[in-house]
Amino acid sequence: MSTLTISTIQTSLLWEEKSANLHMLEQKISAIEQKTEIVVLPEMFSTGFSMNPGLLAEKMDGETIQWMQRVSHENSIILAGSVIIEEEGKFFNRLIWMLPNGQYGHYDKRHLFAYAGEDEKYSAGNKRLIASVKGWKINLQVCYDLRFPVWSRNRVFDSAQTDSAQTGHTSTSLSVPEYDLLIYVANWPERRSHAWKTLLCARAIENQCYVVGVNRVGTDGNNIYHSGNSLVIDPLGQVLYHMADDEDVFTITLQKEKLEEVREKFPFWKDADSFNIL
């Protein structure tokens, strides 16, 4: 069974100081001693959770995307985190999934945080991004998405497998969960940290998957304190890693064998309701 090694970076962010944040994060990434395959950064890692997209937004060929391409290539890692992007006159809180070869996928945050006015400044996405790495399927989401379980629900698909015509028409149908790992990048305030920790565990249990939640620490430009509480959780909801308040870079290797054992021993996913996300 395959493994997947992930590094999480829980850090304070300099308010709306893009170049300084990129320099700081590059130093932290370069200092990772263990061999790692994916590095996960917080939400809006180059600016903090800012409602000034007109001032801070970049195009998809801008400074931060170019930085991600270079750092991903130089360190032979997949790099993930969200940035402020402008496209066709609209602003997006966009999670970038950057590969070492410079190719990337992206996910636009679906649930915009109206409590802070995010819905007034940004446009919502309408498509999930499920990436594939070494046979692992990874669902990528952003912060406030965590509160809406339907959007992250692990659907079950029938995967038809048919032999070639030369060997007849034998076919089988395999029911398989849509993904194996759920990643959230966030700027989640300390005052609601109980919800953050509880919901991350709930997402792992209900979807029978690993969950990684990466949050920032420190006080932002709106004088809102963030306690981090970044977590890695196994498919049974057991916490494998938790760090509150302090900056931390943590590397962990996830075991596909463990995931398959849980799903085989407790095949609750087979009884899940069938539905489509529109």
- Residue 130 Cα distances to 59, 88, 258, angstroms: 23, 24, 21
CB atoms within 10 A of CB 159: 10
**Phi, psi at 180, each rounded to 5°:** -115, -25
67 CB-side CA count, 13 A: 21
52 strand-pairing partners: none
Amino acid making up residue 234: D
Q: Is the pTM of this model over 0.85?
A: yes
Q: How far apart are CA 65 and CA 78, in angstroms?
A: 13
Inter-axis angle of helices 18-30 and 63-75, nearest 10: 10
Pairing of strands 225-233, 239-244: antiparallel
Query: Residues 214-226: what's their mean pLDDT?
Result: 98
Q: Which residues are catalytic?
A: 43, 109, 143
Return d(Cα 149, Cα 156) in angstroms, integer. 15
Domain 3-271 top-level CATH class = alpha beta
What does the pLDDT look like over 140-164, one tens digit per residue? 999 999 999 999 999 987 655 433 3
- pLDDT averaged over every residue in the chain: 93
pLDDT above 90 covers a percentage of the chain that reads 88
In angstroms, rounded to a whole number, what is the distance separating the alpha carbons of residues 13 and 87? 25
Domain positions in the chain are: 3-271
pLDDT digits (tens, 9 = 90+) for 221-276: 999 999 999 999 999 999 999 999 999 999 999 999 999 999 999 999 999 888 78
Q: How confident is the model at residue 80 (pLDDT cuts 50, 70, 90)?
A: very high
Closest CA to 89 of 118, 64, 119, 121: 121
